[in-house]
Amino acid sequence: MNKPVLLTVDDDPEVLNAIERDLRHHFRADYRVVKASSGTQALETVRQLLQRGAQVALFLVDERMPHMTGTQFLVEAIKIYPEARRVLLTAYADTETAIVAINQVGLDHYLLKPWEPPTVRLYPVLEDLLSEWFARARPAFDGIRVAGTALSPASFAVKDFLASNQVPYQWLDMEDDATVRELLSGASGGLARIPMVFFPDGTTLVQPSIRELADKVGLQTRAQKPFYDLIVVGGGPAGLAGALYGASEGLRTILVEQSAPGGQAGTSSNIENYLGFPGGVTGADLARRAATQAKRFGAEILAAQEAVEIRREDPYRKVILSDGSELTGYALLIAPGMEVRRLEAHGIEPLLGAGVFYGAALSEAATYRGRDVVVVGGANSAGQGAMFFSRYARKVTILVRGPDLSAGMSSYLVDRIREEPNVEVLVNARVVAARGDGRLESVTVVDGVSGESRELAVAAMFIFIGTAPRTGLCGDLVMRDSQGFVLTGRDAMTDGHRPAGWTAPRDPYLFETNVPGIFCAGDARHGSGKRVAAAVGEGSATVSMVHQYLHTV
């Protein structure tokens, strides 16, 4: 943890060195002494300190300086560090100015030069002021800080990426805090270029891409080996299980994830039906444990890298990534899971990230504390989302298209929802429009039976209306059903015949596609279980088939 700063400013180099020396001598165990030789330079220093997340405990400033007086400096500096104690160094003749400054900048004290001996005329005064500051100071945050506005989709994307990769950060909202506006306007690009991400090493990323962010926070984004036995696409439960078992059984294994390990499961606030967790487990916790376990066995996990194409170049299988690089291996497991369906309602697109969210958007919950929100959807994911947001929101309204919540939701969740006093369920409810000026303000809901329409004033809408397989990368190479689910095993055969282009002297294995050595597991697979446990089972079971395949190449 960085020590709080004592900033001293004087244009006279001799006086500046003397005060710096005396401050260091007495306070260096608990504070860092920083000096500046003019008001302008000191303000620059103050802005840099803010960007680094440092705390400033004291300004000790000469009053009589050219260009900017001590008082003028303090007027600006306390906008940035309002809690810092303020002391002017004055000559006897400036006593009047110092008295005026008491009102103007809330001056705590003025010291007459010279301050000899410091043990009598300097240290006792400053100790007193610093103990006062210390009693009120909030501990400095020593980690990554993200500054922006809750209503900016780009700010949301950065927060969401960090949160889903379990990278701790502090969120600074420029709408709530003048210090944050000061921080942003002092940084390159100013207020117009949000979000900005400030790192403890003093560096800043302005409107970073997700890949830049991933690199900076130390996530792996590039492959380390030229060749792999097993390449896994997708870091949900199926892919993580495949990577974990592959690596643990000695295969050179790499997993490619476009966002963060965890997949849909990673967005679940509580998975209650996964074996071995009687009290439930958050998706984030399960993902963190699985990713750590897979890495411990030697699997590489690439984050923020999308697989955009897969190729067959016998005997190799290749994966082309979004940055143009490619991975080469013998076997490929595709486990891309599902992506959320888009809600067809007027006015939604411009409000995405500004009150309208697909999925649970767990990182946003605190933003909507004490506000009214709606959750759209009638399946388990919507129920879990509603239960989660009910801890923060004043009221959660679940909008279900069907006549009854129990049609698509597990009974344990329906019971929980009924017991929750701040959760209401509206059935036969169809969202037709979202309105708001820069942020969501209301949604229009039509009753499917009576045809009546009503306007609900809400701050956020979380949409969970189902999913579709994310299998676009299969192209024409891997066979899919009419809905886009990947066909494997017997389903990849046509009327009992092996698939066209099939070269192996056997039928496809259970989770093998129409291309030998390309497997599919989890939700994206035709006929899969659509549960965490099912995905984990399929991902791990695939590895034994991969071994059998590897014996033949």
Ligand X SMILES: Cc1cc2nc3c(=O)[nH]c(=O)nc-3n(C[C@H](O)[C@H](O)[C@H](O)COP(=O)(O)OP(=O)(O)OC[C@H]3O[C@@H](n4cnc5c(N)ncnc54)[C@H](O)[C@@H]3O)c2cc1C
* Nearest of 10, 23, 20 to residue 68 by alpha carbon: 10
> 33, 80, 335, 429: which one contacts ligand X (CB under 6 A)?
335
- Give the three-state DSSP class for 435: strand
Token pair, residue 484, equals 């886009």
Q: Give the DSSP letter string of 313-370.
A: ETTEEEEEETTS-EEEEEEEEE---EEEPPP--BT-GGGBTTTEEES--GGGGGGGTT
Residues present in the chain in total: 553
Site string for ligand X, 382-421 (x = CB under 6 A): --x-------------------------------------
Site string for ligand X, 292-321 (x = CB under 6 A): --------------xx--------------
* Nearest of 447, 342, 355 to residue 399 by alpha carbon: 447
According to the binding rule CB under 6 A, does residue 336 interact with ligand X?
Answer: yes
Instruction: State the minimum distance, in angstroms, from the CB of residue 255 to ligand X.
Output: 9
**232/539 Cα distance (integer angstroms):** 10
According to the binding rule CB under 6 A, does residue 268 interact with ligand X?
Answer: yes
According to the binding rule CB under 6 A, does residue 286 interact with ligand X?
Answer: no
How many CA atoms are closer than 13 Å to the CA of 70, on its beta-carbon side? 31
Instruction: State the minimum distance, in angstroms, from the CB of residue 242 to ligand X.
Output: 9
Instruction: State the minimum distance, in angstroms, from the CB of residue 214 to ligand X.
Output: 13
Number of residues that bind ligand X (CB under 6 A): 39
Cβ atoms of residues 361 and 160 within 8 Å:
yes
According to the binding rule CB under 6 A, does residue 263 interact with ligand X?
Answer: yes
Instruction: State the minimum distance, in angstroms, from the CB of residue 447 to ligand X.
Output: 26
Token pair, residue 206, equals 């302005």
Q: How far is CA 505 from CA 509, 516, 527, in A?
A: 12, 10, 25
Q: How far is CA 56 from CA 133, 170, 376, 470, in A?
A: 10, 19, 46, 50
Q: What are phi and psi of 404, to 5 degrees?
A: -155, 135
According to the binding rule CB under 6 A, does residue 338 interact with ligand X?
Answer: yes
According to the binding rule CB under 6 A, does residue 542 interact with ligand X?
Answer: no
**Only segment of 69-77, 91-99, 167-175, 333-341 that touches ligand X (CB under 6 A):** 333-341
According to the binding rule CB under 6 A, does residue 211 interact with ligand X?
Answer: no
Buried b (16+ CB within 10 A) or exposed e, 23-34: beebbeeebbbb
- Give the three-state DSSP class for 543: helix
* Nearest of 399, 408, 397 to residue 431 by alpha carbon: 399
According to the binding rule CB under 6 A, does residue 237 interact with ligand X?
Answer: yes
Beta bridge partners of 302: 256
**214/302 Cα distance (integer angstroms):** 10
Q: Which is nearer to ligand X, 93 or 275 (CB)?
A: 275
Site string for ligand X, 166-205 (x = CB under 6 A): ----------------------------------------
Q: Which is nearer to ligand X, 403 or 527 (CB)?
A: 527
Which segments within 458-532 are labelled E, that is strand? 460-463, 467-469, 518-520
Beta bridge partners of 206: 196
According to the binding rule CB under 6 A, does residue 378 interact with ligand X?
Answer: no
According to the binding rule CB under 6 A, does residue 522 interact with ligand X?
Answer: yes
Q: Which is nearer to ligand X, 107 or 409 (CB)?
A: 409
According to the binding rule CB under 6 A, does residue 129 interact with ligand X?
Answer: no
* Nearest of 499, 513, 263 to residue 381 by alpha carbon: 263
The verdict on whether omega for the bond into residue 315 sits within 30 degrees of 0, i.e. cis, is yes
According to the binding rule CB under 6 A, does residue 503 interact with ligand X?
Answer: no
Instruction: State the minimum distance, in angstroms, from the CB of residue 346 to ligand X.
Output: 25
Instruction: State the minimum distance, in angstroms, from the CB of residue 273 to ligand X.
Output: 5
> 239, 246, 408, 517: which one contacts ligand X (CB under 6 A)?
239
**Only segment of 212-220, 270-278, 496-504, 511-519 that touches ligand X (CB under 6 A):** 270-278
According to the binding rule CB under 6 A, does residue 16 interact with ligand X?
Answer: no
According to the binding rule CB under 6 A, does residue 381 interact with ligand X?
Answer: yes
Token pair, residue 524, equals 């994206």
According to the binding rule CB under 6 A, does residue 214 interact with ligand X?
Answer: no
- Give the three-state DSSP class for 378: coil
| Cβ neighbours of residue 539 closer than 8 Å, sequence gap 6 or more | 237, 238, 239, 240, 241, 242, 245, 333, 335, 521, 522
Site string for ligand X, 46-75 (x = CB under 6 A): ------------------------------
**182/540 Cα distance (integer angstroms):** 51
Token pair, residue 500, equals 């066209």
**Only segment of 3-11, 143-151, 222-230, 531-539 that touches ligand X (CB under 6 A):** 531-539
Token pair, residue 14, equals 């001799």
Q: Which is nearer to ligand X, 167 or 533 (CB)?
A: 533
Instruction: State the minimum distance, in angstroms, from the CB of residue 171 to ligand X.
Output: 22
Q: Which is nearer to ligand X, 337 or 408 (CB)?
A: 337
Sole residue written with tokens 């006015």 = 347
According to the binding rule CB under 6 A, does residue 271 interact with ligand X?
Answer: yes
Token pair, residue 406, equals 């129990």
**Only segment of 5-13, 18-26, 234-242, 509-517 that touches ligand X (CB under 6 A):** 234-242
> 57, 230, 238, 486: which one contacts ligand X (CB under 6 A)?
238
> 72, 380, 488, 513: which one contacts ligand X (CB under 6 A)?
380
**409/203 Cα distance (integer angstroms):** 47
**Only segment of 22-30, 72-80, 177-185, 524-532 that touches ligand X (CB under 6 A):** 524-532
Binding site for ligand X (CB under 6 A): 233-239, 256-259, 263-265, 267-268, 271-273, 306-307, 335-338, 360, 380-381, 384, 470, 473, 522-524, 530-533, 535
